[in-house]
Homo-oligomer: A and B are copies of this chain.
């Protein structure tokens, strides 16, 4: 046995974290494993399935047993933000099977199905915009050569706090209902 399906997923996550989603092609994942592109199709039916497996792996870091709805959302966001473009991968994959994920099911036990969906969609969306914002900031910093401290750049908003305030709004709405 030369490579297993888990090896493929791990290699794909390495490529994702290093190069980003746009560069995470089947061909690059194959190169990461020193293998021909066609070899991947022995382990995975297509790229979409591989992305779904990557999403599962990213979400596996969220502990389901303990904590309230807020803690669950924060942990999910942290898990997505821990990998480059992780929010995109998880949100896209999850959108295809909303309702079947373990996180959503646990959330539904805590706050009902509508609350769970609302919290999830908000968490996905905020994490995605956090990651694109951070990437843009990184890119801007590269172009920012001769400027002093805060030279011409708007102060970065505190995205963690912004996320928390949105969570407060939704949780208050659930408490009121």
Residue positions of A touching B, CB distance < 8 A: 91, 95-96, 98, 114-115, 117-118, 120-122, 124-126, 128-129, 132-133, 136, 162, 165-166, 168-177
Contacts and interface: CB of A to CB of B under 8 A. Distances in A.
A121 B125 contact: yes
Given A118-B122, A122-B121, A176 B166 contact: no
A95 B129 contact: yes
Contacts of A126: 117, 121
Nearest to A125: B121
B114 A166 contact: yes
A177 B168 CA distance: 9
Copies of this chain, count: 2
A115 B169 contact: yes
A129 B172 CA distance: 24
Q: Taking each of A126, A165, A169, A170, which has the highest tally of chain B beta carbons within 10 Å of its own beta carbon?
A: A169
A114 B162 contact: yes
9 closest A-B pairs (Cβ-Cβ)?
A173-B173, A121-B125, A172-B173, A169-B173, A118-B166, A114-B165, A172-B176, A125-B125, A176-B176
Contacts of A129: 95, 98, 121
B173 A117 contact: no
A108 B57 CA distance: 36
Given A96-B136, A98-B133, A114-B165, 9 more contacts: A96-B132, A121-B121, A124-B125, A168-B177, A170-B170, A170-B173, A172-B172, A172-B173, A173-B174
